[in-house]
Amino acid sequence: MAGKPKLHYTKGRGKMESIRWLLAAAGVEFEEEFIEKKEDLEKLRHDGVLMFQQVPMVEIDGMKMVQTRAILSYIAAKYNLYGKDLKERAWIDMYVEGTTDLMGMIMYLPFQPADTKEKNLALIIERATNRYFPVYEKALKDHGHDYLVGNKLSWADIHLLEAILMAEECKADILSAFPLLQAFKGRISNIPTIKKFLQPGSQRKPPTDEKFVAVVKKIFNI
């Protein structure tokens, strides 16, 4: 039997957090080897295990996988979270790319200069409420199902819940105009594997704070 996937990344959310979410939702136990200082990253690079000298890197099924999107789509396909055919996969991809764009804006907010943070936070809230969340609200309304694609839990649902919770950290009532997304959040949060991941003490990481920003900047020479 193959061992547990091993995740190599810093001790924070970043690009690895969506991978943690997807594995947890699939009910897969995983181990983490944290990059805590510059030397840890240099060792991985020196050992030749980072194809493009970058993390995230996940050891899974005998591979040392890099590139977030490649890792996520592999896990989604392996654990039957990637639709039943090409059309469903295309829809999942489109929905995931949308939430990735929104989460990217939120992810980089703590790393931005103090004088631009307020402006960028306002932009995140505007984009979430006018560009991104209306799409998912409409999708749920149009097909009347519990899930975004194929009336079955997929990567798109897991990614959307992660994006919703991140957006709520920016503005607590950000879903106030989206009743179907509020209901969706409740449903998906109560799926047993996801509910477990949302409990204190899980491998879910906290929001990025100034202390962690300083650590990341040191490790990656930012």
pLDDT tens for 25-66 read 999 999 999 999 999 999 999 999 999 999 999 999 999 999
What pLDDT is stored for residue 221 in this prediction? 84
Q: Two tokens at 152?
A: 């079955």
Q: Two tokens at 120?
A: 């960028």
Which stretches of the chain are assigned E, i.e. beta strand? 6-9, 31-34, 57-60, 63-66
pLDDT tens for 116-152 read 989 999 999 999 999 999 999 999 999 989 999 999 9
Domains of the chain, by residue range, sit at 6-79+198-220, 86-190
What pLDDT is stored for residue 3 in this prediction? 86
Token pair 């003490």 is found at: 201
DSSP 12-54: S-GGGHHHHHHHHHTT---EEEE--SHHHHHHHHHTT--TTS-
Fold that domain 6-79+198-220 belongs to in CATH: Glutaredoxin (3.40.30)
Selected from 3.40.50.2300, 3.90.1300.10, 1.10.150.130, 1.20.1050.10, the CATH number assigned to the domain covering 86-190 reads 1.20.1050.10
C-alpha–C-alpha distance, residues 114 and 71, integer Å? 33
